[in-house]
Chains A and B, each alone.
Chain A
Amino acid sequence: MADTLKTKSDSQPLLTQRSKRKVKDAFASPFASALAIVIAVLWSIPTFGLLVSSFRPAELINTTGWWTAFANPEFTFDNYTSVLIEGTSTVPPLWYYFFNSFAITLPAAIFPLVLATFAAYALAWFDFKGREFLFFAIFTLQVIPLQMSLIPLLQLFARGVTIGDVTIIPDLGITGTYIPIWIAHTIFALPLATFLLHNFLRQIPRELVEAARVDGAGWFTLFRRVVFPLSIPAIASFAIFQFLWVWNDLLVGLTFGGGSQDILPLTVRLAEMVGTRGSGLEALMAGAFISMIVPLIVFFALQRYFVRGLLAGSVKG
């Protein structure tokens, strides 16, 4: 791969500025762009429908199609205000849960990424027997439906682990805090994260690694000064997805949030808004859009890493 990287700068003199521009222009075909725009617009129509609906009063939503709103406009902010601002005497308004979602999502995105990068580094660059088996074992764990882990993990957090009379892990007293939720999300994210990061890390040029080792760098220094900086684009890219998945997660927050209202994320609160009998869909629509804002911001902020990142085998034949 180092060869390919060198080629890029070496071959500059081969092409003149003019021919480069010609090549570039040939790529930016207006037909392609138009097609892309059309597809993107079609893709967004269903979502647009929801956006329009979220500004309509409940009775209209349930009786007429959202496109009729343009012929007979009747819009209201009620759905948004009732979701966002009105709390009741006993339940805080939605913005409070934003904080919880952040507090849960930030560590739940960072922890698994760090640990997965460590593991991917080891699996890509340490030579040991059973390495391939271990990697595929981790890969396989991706498929375990997390529902199967809920009860054992809950028991672990609530009671600790004892075999016979020996206490291996004591009751940590962490139920009702964010910590079980962080640990649960970390566990569930590790297999996929390790798989994707491993794919990237093994593309790092062998020569770079060798050179550093020859210079006397130990495994830890090697990671800190060579491997980790190179993998930041990949980490950032996966971070977006992990952030998104945790932010939108309902099941883990619901299960490990247990009996405490104080730590519930946004998604759980939104799910509750749809009344016990499933009425009040309009509040959920507004809530869905409000909730979507944050992942979108994260996406735009970290987007530039997508340009350079996730090299995952891209320059390999």
Chain B
Amino acid sequence: MIDSIGPNLVILVVGLLVFAAVFFLIFLLAERTSVKTQEVLRYAVFLGPALLLLAIGLLYPAGRTIYLSFMNKSGQEFVGLENYIWAFTTPEIQIVIRNTFIWVIVVPVFATIFGLAMAYLTDRMKFASVVKSLVFLPMAISMVGASIIWRFVYTFQPDEEKAEIGLLSAIVEAFGGEPNNWLLDAPLNTFLLIAVMVWIQTGFSMVVLSAAMKAIPDDIQEAAMLDGAGQLKRFFQVTIPMIRASIVVVITTTLIGTLKVFDIVRTMTGGNFSTSVVANEMYTQAFRQLNYGTGSTLAVLLLIAIIPLIWYNIRQLRLERTER
């Protein structure tokens, strides 16, 4: 099998070269054509590839998913709104939807707040990159790694004689308390799982917001200082408004990421003990139970869930367009 490194390397190099060559050539040729041709050509070249890939890879499957949500388990029979009714009336699924709401509100808010705090605190710090790297580290660890890490925080040892292996349990015990079976207790367990996601996502928001802060010209801050504004006032009345668009981007991205994440729930509790979220349940329905009807329905619910977010972003975009 090691001898396949050779051919694989060739494929890698060829792939990159072909990609580069194709676009080089296109640009070269396109720049020589007339202005009128370019007016038409630009759509094909700039929008074409992306739209084509998206149509094949996401749009068609999206359509297929919506279609399947009205069909039965194997996708052969039309069942109308049955799957949707199932989703909203089955108690377990109601809990799943409720949990998802909690995730979607808590994760973006806290990840953004912590990221903002870290970005601000390290803005003028020496060795800021070391400190920032530590907070960014969770993003570099795969989901599998993160799940193992937090397993060693939340593990509960039922046998009183034996030592605790989980960090949280050990700390509670050290303070004289009696540790719970953390992952078992709803709704605390949902918040504990959320903590893992916040732990990971803060790195992203910190990095983005930090970059945004660094682009604020010094003299604006200086001017505010000279005007006598204290540090807190400057933060809320100068810094934040100047990076508002970045904050919106961070919240949006984190929110969408939260809607889609299911690894954390799947590996830590398997979705039991009232911790499951829509993305996890969708995976269970479609891939464990081989029920593409209900699985697709849950996916459609995710689609519906971001409509408010889209509306908000449209508003933001329009506001900024008029300000230009």
Contact = CB atoms under 8 A, between A and B. Distances in A.
Interface stretch (B91-99, B182-190, B214-222): B214-222
Interface residues of A, number: 132
A8 interface: yes
A248 B140 CA distance: 8
B310 A261 contact: no
B172 interface: no
A284 interface: yes
Given A139-B313, A148-B61, A314-B216, A96 B140 contact: no
Nearest to B164: A65
B197 interface: no
B9 A103 contact: yes
Contacts of B120: 32
Contacts of A40: 118, 131-132, 134-135
Given A63-B165, A118-B49, A281-B148, A261 B1 contact: yes
Contacts, number: 361
Q: Which range holds the interface residue count of chain B?
A: 35 or more
Interface string A108-141: 0011001110110111001010001001101111
B131 A49 contact: no
Contact of B249 (A128, A136, A291, A313): A313
A47 B303 contact: no
B89 interface: no
Interface string B18-48: 0100010001001100010011011101110
Nearest to A33: B125
Question: Chain A interface secondary structure, helix, strand, loop or mixed?
Answer: helix
29 contacts: A14-B219, A19-B222, A36-B128, A39-B121, A43-B138, A47-B141, A65-B164, A96-B1, A103-B9, A107-B12, A126-B46, A132-B317, A139-B310, A149-B58, A178-B12, A183-B53, A187-B53, A191-B58, A206-B324, A218-B30, A219-B38, A241-B204, A244-B139, A248-B143, A250-B143, A262-B8, A288-B142, A306-B210, A316-B242
Given A26-B225, A314-B245, 17 more contacts: A27-B124, A39-B114, A64-B163, A123-B47, A136-B313, A148-B296, A149-B58, A192-B253, A237-B207, A262-B1, A307-B214, A311-B211, A312-B208, A312-B211, A314-B212, A315-B242, A316-B242
Interface of A: 4, 7-8, 11, 14-15, 19-20, 23-24, 26-29, 32-33, 35-37, 39-41, 43-47, 49-50, 53, 62-68, 91-92, 96, 99-100, 103, 106-107, 110-111, 114-116, 118-119, 121-123, 126, 128, 132, 135-136, 138-145, 147-149, 152-153, 156, 177-179, 182-184, 186-188, 190-192, 194-196, 199, 206, 218-221, 223-224, 237, 241, 244, 248, 250, 261-263, 267, 270-271, 281, 284-285, 288-289, 291-292, 295-296, 299-300, 303, 306-317
Interface of B: 1-2, 4-5, 8-9, 11-12, 15-16, 19, 23, 27, 30-31, 35, 38-39, 41-43, 45-47, 49-51, 53-54, 56-62, 64-65, 114, 117-118, 120-126, 128-129, 131-145, 148-150, 152-153, 162-167, 170, 199, 202, 204, 207-208, 210-219, 221-222, 225, 231, 241-246, 248-249, 252-253, 256, 259-260, 279, 282-283, 286-287, 296, 299, 302-303, 305-306, 310, 313-314, 317, 320, 323-324
